[in-house]
Amino acid sequence: MKDSRKLASLLAVGVCAAALYAGTSIADPMPEEQSLAGLEYDLIGRDDLWTYEALPEYHQAPFLDALVESGALPPVEDRLPAEPLVMQAGAMSAGIGEYGGVFRHVIGGRPEGWNILAGQHQGWGGINMATQECLVRQGPRWQVRPEEQTGPLPNLAKSWEWNDDMTELTMHLVEGAKWSDGDPFDTEDIAFWYDDNVQNADINSRISKDAFGGGASLEVIDDYTFKFVFPTAQSNTVVEGLAYIQGCPGPSHVLKDFHPDYNADMNYDDYLNAMPADAVPIPVMGAWVPVEHKPDELVILRRNPYYFKVDSEGNQLPYINEMHFKLTTWDDRTTQAVAGTGDWSNMENPGNFVEALKQSQDENSPVSAKFGPRTLSWRIELNFAQNMTDDPYEQELRGLFRELPFRQALSHAIDRDAVGQALARGPFAYPYIGGFASGSPYYDPAYSVYTPFDQDKAKELLAGLGLEDTDGNGVLNMPGTGEDLVIDMTYKPQRTDDRKQMDAVTSQLAEVGIRVLPKTVDETSFDPMRNAGDFSAILQRANFVLPTRETCGNLPVSDICPPFHLSGPDGRDSLPFEERLTAITSEMSATDDAGKQTELANEMEQLLTENLYNIGLVQVPAALLVNKRVQNAHPGTPVFMYEWAEDAVIRERLWVPADQQMEEILPGTVAVYE
Ligand code: GLA
């Protein structure tokens, strides 16, 4: 059965869209949305994707034969787990692959370092995901039938079970998997990840201390079995938090030596920098190992000969030998995909849409392109932590941010249609009002409170707050300090679309007397700046599609989450609706009932949008561009749904017919560790 329904219907089991929630009626409904989605796909069962089993025989990429013969590598069956993860050929759009060749990525980010346990990223765009594997997996869920959508897919954890009252989650690791240097992967890595990193408040790990399941503790049972014990009942939803980028262990056999708890000569800076960006190779669990990094130029990765996955004929994955990440810009990613010099782009830069689409329609074009639903959105984050600054101006400013009428005024001052047209002419952009992106399985427009463009209302609300242009310079003065209302707004200058929206927002807010001072921070320093709460306001991409993904970036789930409302020494100076947001988030992780989840998601959507927790700007669909010589890139893969497409497409299954393979830069080699 072909199913081109909007993905939103997947979870909408038994939902009535009437806006009757809590007896409210939504004053301004969202304008009608025109979908551009054209993805076609078959829905399949979870086990149709992959299983775990021992196969009668295994095969490896032919060039590895010589390395086994010379004794540099053990035979393939000894490198694989007893029961490897088996990718089923039936779920592959082009079937069992051919070994070899190069996959060329182009990215705008730069590797910060390889210590993923200390929160470092590797430059995004799929390079993080090529090297790390996580306990469970979310990306490929776009293809799973609605009735089997209970929690994430297995990965390093091949199975898990709950006790009767859902307070204990026992997980079973793949047995006998190995790091790319041959070291065993087991619960020593799990305990190091969770106890020595996640639970260590001095380390900025991707799950913050006590945030997972309201503060789970870990018990190791044996080499391959461990248990989380939760303070309150949970559900399979909480397990989603163990997918990329949160539940991904690092090599304890390397990192322990740099960790202050294990080595008194080390401090936390030493630990953070234990695996610097240029020091490769490093041991990974991912399909490819970084073996060369030329800063600002290229990262080369070679196949991981210990990778724990095979296809259903016993061929060890990945099929592709070498992966490149050219280090240029995000716009260049699309340009190169369209030109055929790169193999992949999540075409998420609306400025390129028209031209790229035109070119990809040509039958000789090297790429094909199909739009998915709108899951890319942008927003302004206002810093609400008034008790975290001593500066009187900043205090007054944050005080204003905390006033609902001020946030409403900002929203009324923004002409989202104009912002959208500044990004790209045409039907691409649709207003975003905060809350879930419209392509999210949790989105229902009936619960979105729209605060549309209306300059008069904006001015009226600002006047109501005592903001007046007392010195006639066109900028409102603040009632307390008397100073001009100037908002420093930070953004990533390398992101063309962020910059265009910044320009539009700056001039639109000027029209109601608010001066925006755009401030740039490069992508590598951006997250540390944001996590430290070191900003007044930020304009950036939102990507709020699932409440369980990057929860800390969006919702008040712990003292350091979200970064735009950190807790001060006396706790968080909560806004009235924030406690309910916290409660909804934990109620969602405590239920697997789709109807109940939808109800909670609707309540969340309404709270987020009527309170303008963030000021949404616009949302656009994105198209995935993949070079036509690459096989098994399923045409239904969304750019972003449960996870980015680099995860959702299952790259370890991608392959290129031998006669179309590109020449490898480092043929015949694998990572060599000192
Ligand atoms: C960046 C890119 C996205 C995607 C992700 C993957 O954020 O903008 O398109 O490639 O990295 O992590």
Distance 326 CA to ligand 1 centre (A): 14
Q: If you take atom 3 of ligand 1, which residue's CA is the nearest one?
A: 125
Average pLDDT of the residues in 215-225: 97
Position 4 confidence tier, pLDDT thresholds 50, 70, 90: very low
Task: Determine how β-strand 430-431 pairs with β-strand 615-627.
Answer: antiparallel
- Write the burial class of residue 296 (CB in 10 Å: 0-12 exposed, 13-18 middle, 19+ buried): exposed
Using most ligand atoms within 8 A of CB, pick from 331, 346, 637, 643 the residue to mutate for ligand 1. 346
Q: What is the maximum alpha-carbon separation in the chain?
A: 83
Q: What would the two tokens of residue 505 be? A: 């927002």
Distance 644 CA to ligand 1 centre (A): 7
Share of the chain above pLDDT 70, in %: 96
pLDDT band at 16 (very low <50, low <70, confident <90, very high): very low
Atom 8 in ligand 1: residue holding the nearest Cα: 125
Angle at 93 between CA 178 and CA 363, to 5 degrees: 125
Kindly give the distance from the C-alpha atom of residue 110 to the centroid of ligand 1, in angstroms, as a whole number: 12
Range scoring the smallest mean pLDDT among 381-395, 504-518, 554-568, 641-655: 554-568
Q: Which residues line ligand 1 (CB under 6 A)?
A: 124-126, 128, 330, 346, 348, 644, 646
Closest-lying ligand 1 atom to the alpha carbon of residue 109 = 1
How many percent of the chain have pLDDT more than 90?
Answer: 81
Peptide bond into 84 cis (omega under 30): no
pLDDT over 60 at 2, yes or no = no
Beta carbons of 475 and 515 less than 8 angstroms apart: yes
* Cα 124 to ligand 1 centroid, rounded to whole Å: 5
217 Cα to the center of ligand 1, angstroms? 32
pLDDT at 23: 40
Ligand 1 centre distance from Cα of residue 10 (Å): 24
How do residues 586-620 score in pLDDT, each as one tens digit?
Answer: 899 888 888 999 999 999 999 999 999 999 999 99
List residues bridging with 369 in a β-sheet.
625
Q: Is the pLDDT of residue 10 over 50?
A: no
Strands 298-303 and 322-327: antiparallel
Cβ–Cβ < 8 Å for 144, 91: no
Mutate to test the pocket of ligand 1, among 121, 323, 641, 644 (most ligand atoms within 8 A of CB): 644
pLDDT of residue 549: 84
Tell me how far apart the alpha carbons of residues 638 and 374 are, in angstroms, rounded to a whole number. Answer: 10
Which residue's CA is minimally distant from atom 6 of ligand 1?
Answer: 125
Q: What is the pLDDT of residue 18?
A: 36
Contact 440, 375 (CB under 8 A): yes
Q: Residue 649 is encoded by which pair of tokens? A: 């497409």
Fold of 51-343+624-660: D-Maltodextrin-Binding Protein; domain 2 (3.40.190)
pLDDT, tens digit, for every residue of 93-147?
999 999 999 999 999 999 999 999 999 999 999 999 999 999 999 999 999 998 8
31: number of Cβ within 10 Å: 13
The number of the ligand 1 atom at minimal distance from the alpha carbon of 128 is 12
For 457-482, write each residue's pLDDT tens digit: 999 999 999 999 999 999 999 999 99
Is residue 149 very low, low, confident or very high in pLDDT (cuts 50, 70, 90)? confident
* Ligand 1 nearest atom to the CA of residue 129, by list position: 12
Cα-Cα-Cα-Cα dihedral of 242, 243, 244, 250, to 10°? 50
Angle between helices 404-413 and 455-464 (to 10 degrees): 150
The 3-class secondary structure across 616-652, one letter per residue, is EEEEEEEEEEEECCCECCCCCCCCECCCEHHHHCCHH
Question: Average pLDDT of the chain?
Answer: 93
Q: How far is the CA of 345 from the centre of ligand 1 (A)?
A: 9
Q: How many CB atoms lie within 10 A of CB 25?
A: 9
Alpha-carbon dihedral sign for residues 57, 96, 285, 170: negative
Q: In what order do the strands lie in the sheet with 102-107?
A: 102-107, 322-327, 298-303, 288-294
Instruction: From 438, 418, 420, 416, select the one nearest 428 (Cα to Cα).
Output: 420
In ligand 1, the atom with minimum distance to the C-alpha of 647 is 6
Could you tell me the sign of the dihedral formed by the alpha carbons of 191, 193, 198, 200, in that order? positive
In a 10 Å sphere around its CB, with 0-12 CB exposed, 13-18 middle and 19+ buried, how is residue 329 labelled? middle
For residue 109, the CA-to-ligand 1 centroid distance in Å is 9
Q: Report the candidate in 251, 339, 329, 306 with the shortest Cα–Cα distance to residue 499.
A: 329
Q: HSE-up of 516 (CA within 13 Å, CB side)?
A: 26
In this predicted structure, the answer to whether residue 8 has a pLDDT above a threshold of 50 is no
Q: What is the pLDDT of residue 592?
A: 85
Distance between CA 466 and CA 479 in Å, rounded? 6
Whose Cα sits closest to atom 9 in ligand 1?
Answer: 346
Q: What is the pLDDT of residue 26?
A: 59
Q: Which of 122, 329, 377, 646 to mutate to test the pocket of ligand 1 (most atoms within 8 A of CB)?
A: 646
Rounded distance from Cα 639 to ligand 1 centre (Å): 9
Instruction: Identify the CA nearest to 195 among candidates 207, 180, 179.
Output: 207
Q: What are phi and psi of 481, to 5 degrees?
A: -75, -15
Instruction: Report the separation in Å between the CA atom of 352 and the middle of ligand 1, taken as the mean of its atom positions.
Output: 16
pTM beyond 0.85: the answer is yes
What pLDDT score does 369 carry? 84
Q: What is the pLDDT of residue 21?
A: 40
CB count, 10 Å around CB of 130?
26
**So what's the pLDDT on residue 104?**
98
Asked if residues 352 and 335 have their Cβ atoms less than 8 Å apart, the reply is yes
- Which pLDDT score, from 0 to 100, does residue 3 have? 37
User: What one-letter code names the amino acid at 276?
Assistant: P
| Cα–Cα dist 153/194, whole Å | 20
Give the Å distance between the CA of 671 and the centre of ligand 1.
Answer: 26
Buried b (16+ CB within 10 A) or exposed e, 230-245: beebbbbbbbbbbbbb
Q: Whose CA is nearest to atom 10 of ligand 1?
A: 125
What pLDDT band is residue 36 in, cutting at 50, 70 and 90? confident
pLDDT tens digits for range 245-259: 999 999 999 999 999
What is the SS3 string spanning 555-599?
A: CCCECCECHHHCCECCECCCCCCHHHHHHHHHHHHCCCCHHHHHH
Atom of ligand 1 nearest to the CA of 622: 9
Mean pLDDT, to the nearest integer, of 507-512? 98
CA distance 135 to 224: 12
Among protein residues, the one with the nearest Cα to ligand 1's atom 4 is: 125
What's the CA-to-centroid distance between 645 and ligand 1, angstroms? 9
Helix (H) or strand (E) segment spanning residue 394: helix 392-401
- Nearest residue (by CA) to ligand 1, atom 2, is 125
146 versus 581: the higher-pLDDT residue is 581
Domain limits, the chain: 2-30+375-620, 51-343+624-660
Cis peptide before 281 (omega within 30 of 0): yes
Question: What is the second-level CATH architecture of the domain 2-30+375-620?
Answer: Roll (3.10)
Neighbours of 330 (CB within 10 A): 24
| CA–CA distance, 198 with 188 (Å, rounded to integer) | 14
Radius of gyration of the chain (CA): 25
- The segment with the largest mean pLDDT, out of 98-107, 354-363, 417-426, 633-642, is 98-107
